Amino acid sequence: MFPGVTVALVTPLSDAGEVSEPAVARLVASVRPYVSALLPALSTGEGGALTDEQWEVMVSATVRHADGLPVVAGALRPTTDEVAARARAAERLGARAVAVTTPYGPGVTQEEMFRHYERLARATRLPLVVYHESAVSKNALDLTTLLRICALPAVAGVKDSAGSGRFTRELVAARPGVPVLQGLEHLLLESGPVDGFVLALANAEPALCAALFTDPSADRAAELTAACARFGLERDDWYRALKSELCRRGVLETDRTVDPGAAADTGRTATTGSTVETGETLS
């Protein structure tokens, strides 16, 4: 995995609900000076709700406009076979790694979680980034299992978004052998000496995120807290406020979001939100 700040990109949509490649290009250009990697189609990118076509367009557009930055493709699918298919597609599209959760469901055992990553390691040549969370998968890796997974040669890092600064510190202290990156803004100053951040906030405030990585001191706490509050980053739909701000700045064409229910039920894209016209230049 890549040290520094990785931006978990929002997915820009057009009026028609399609991924807007021009907006992807503008978004990548706006964050490029401050970040070390790009991560499309994960939770901030509404990756679990994207259709196969939307996912492929978002990943391929990010790769085309990365201009040398590595791209880690999110692959939020419920089963090992579905994740493996997206990992192989990400490899074909030019991604440098793929970020994946455990299989979905509260009944998944720790051994099944380990076997999931073991199978994925055989299914793709791309390095695997463990997306450690529970909101998407509805389960959680324990520390022992996560350390076993980190020992797999194909695993390149951990995006720790499980919501516990204490867990992150314990993971780092256990020396997993791969980089550990904090994925939640409100825990940045509680995580100890992590190798990097993977942040939604970097869509709108990449310079602040880069400064926090360089100097994660308590002096920056007020600035970080204000940014988290301004963009509602602890809300379930945190990406909405980010899209609205980026639209206001002229980076995105619309502040539309993907409707996960409609996408899951029909395979079509349904969107909410409105187009915002602005002559404001990018700040």
CB 13 within 8 A of CB 206: no
281 lies in some domain: no
**Vertex 159: Cα angle to 35 and 141 (nearest 5):** 175
Positive or negative torsion for Cα 225, 229, 231, 232: positive
CB 180 within 8 A of CB 168: yes
The pLDDT of residue 3:
86
100 lies in some domain: yes
Q: What is the pLDDT of residues 148-195, one digit of tens each?
A: 999 999 999 999 999 999 999 999 999 999 999 999 999 999 999 999
CB 210 within 8 A of CB 4: yes
List strand residue ranges (DSSP E) for 205-252, in order. Answer: none
DSSP annotation of 277 reads: -
How many domains does the chain contain in total?
1
For the packed helices 143-150 and 110-123, what is the interaxial angle rounded to 10 degrees?
A: 20
> How high is the mean pLDDT of the chain?
91
Domain residues for 196?
4-272
279 lies in some domain: no
278 lies in some domain: no
Between CA 148 and CA 143 the distance in angstroms is 9
263 lies in some domain: yes
| CATH number of the structural domain spanning residue 215 | 3.20.20.70
> In which band, very low, low, confident or very high, does the pLDDT at 16 lie, cut at 50, 70 and 90?
very high
pTM: 0.90
**24 Cβ partners below 8 Å, 6+ apart?**
9, 12, 58, 61, 62, 65
Q: What is the pLDDT of residues 79-122, one digit of tens each?
A: 999 999 999 999 999 999 999 999 999 999 999 999 999 999 99
Reduce the DSSP state of residue 95 to 3 states and report it.
Answer: coil
116 lies in some domain: yes
The pLDDT of residue 1:
65
